[in-house]
Amino acid sequence: MGLSLAACQTPPAEHGEGGAKADAGVGKAPEGEKKGPTPEEIEAKKKAAAEAQAKAEAAKGCCKFCFAGTPCGDECLPEGKTCDEPEGEGCACSSDERPTRTFEEGWLPRPNSGILGPDVFSFNKAQGDPIDGPFTLEMAFEGDETLADKGKGTLTATFQTSMGDIECELYEDKAPLTVANFVGLARGKRPYLDPKNRKSDEWVTGNYYDNTIFHRVISKFMIQGGDPSASGRGTPGYFIPDEFHPSLRHSGPGILSMANRNPYDRVTQKPIYDEKTGLTVGNTGSAQFFITVRKTEALNDRHTVFGRCDTKVPTAISEVRTQSRPIPDKPFEDVTIKTISFTRK
């Protein structure tokens, strides 16, 4: 399901009306008019005004980002439309005026839980992320004019592995934040916390995926990588929003998709939705990814599809011999991702 947040209007603060004027002179106020407000009424109006002001201030901070479509001024344009506003002018917001949730450093969603998309960047900031807001394609392409120019062709990633190359088309238009994160980590443009040094709180840069392994391999299902710690538990210290585009499905072998720990309904295999906002509960992807070797429709709208790869090498990797312990489904002999490069074709 694609998620596009609509415009947010800041409500005006409420103003109390003055008490009715008494007739000039001394005596009873004319019938139909009230005397001056009582202390209780004054206090109630002050409280109402304070609540309205607090609501208005909260609404000012409701600026969010379009997870599908294009942010433009105070609107999220439909897919494929062009923004005519200068970059950075206005902001796309949520229509329910819901204030952004706040987090503490080190907090993580409990098992079988997650957070809402509009809260992702607030969570990241609380963890010390130096990127304030989304990491964009422009940031990911920095320093490479060819990658930044869509007119040069389809954005393509090439995994150079110990079992051969894997070439993948990336869906930058339909999953822009996911692609930006993947490219940024691979090119050393996206800061992260080192999964191999969990005690460090220093945000670093480097080619995140170089010399990592496919740490989880399941025959006739998928191959998973993207964890420098090789344990399956390593993360770069932040989350990215889910981007569920209706045209991107786990429809066969070669689908490049994001690993995560999003909750889902065990009976229906569908995502969990927040009752108040209708948004999916999840958004726990970060750096780990997988490539399918068969159709896996049950994963639709639970994992973000962001590319499609050729299938020969992924299928071969999926058939290597794996262990059951200490790390289940890890190959006995490492299958290494030497590096990931990008071009346009």
> Residues 216, 245, 250, 302: which is the catalytic one?
216
Asked, as a colleague might, if the bond just before 253 is cis with ω within 30 of 0, I would say no
Joined tokens for residue 171: 């869906």
Catalytic residue chosen out of the listed positions 299, 302, 306, 342: 299
DSSP label at 329? T
143-166 as b/e: b if 16+ CB within 10 A:
eeeebeeeeeeebbbebebeeeeb
Quote the radius of gyration of the chain (alpha carbons, Å): 26
Provide the residue type at 240 as one letter. Answer: I
260 has catalytic annotation: yes
- Torsions phi, psi of 59, nearest 5? -65, -30
Active-site residue, 250 included: no
Q: Is 290 noted as a catalytic residue in this protein?
A: yes
Could you count the other beta carbons within 10 Å of the beta carbon of residue 100? Answer: 19
The residue behind tokens 């019938």 is 31
299 among known catalytic residues? yes
3-state secondary structure (DSSP) of residue 158: strand
Q: Which residue is it, tokens 């930044």?
A: 148
Q: Is residue 236 a contact partner of residue 208, using CB atoms and an 8 Å limit?
A: yes
Under a CB-based contact definition with an 8 Å cutoff, are residues 299 and 221 in contact?
no
Given the residues 67, 290, 306, 342, select the one marked as catalytic: 290
Catalytic residue among 181, 260, 283, 300: 260
User: Which residue in 124, 224, 262, 283 is the catalytic one?
Assistant: 224
Query: Of the residues 159, 303, 306, 342, which is catalytic?
Result: 303
Judged by DSSP in three states, 271 sits in strand
To the query of whether residue 15 is one of the catalytic residues in this protein, the response is no
Query: Active site residue: 221, 261, 294, 344, which one?
Result: 221
Look at the alpha carbons of 173, 177, 182, 184 in this order and tell me if their dihedral is positive or negative.
positive
| Closest listed residue to residue 227, CA positions, set 261, 250, 196 | 196
In angstroms, rounded to a whole number, what is the distance separating the alpha carbons of residues 6 and 278? 14
What CA–CA distance (Å, rounded) separates 36 from 312?
84
41 vs 53: CA distance, rounded Å: 18
Active site residues: 216, 221, 224, 260, 290, 299, 303
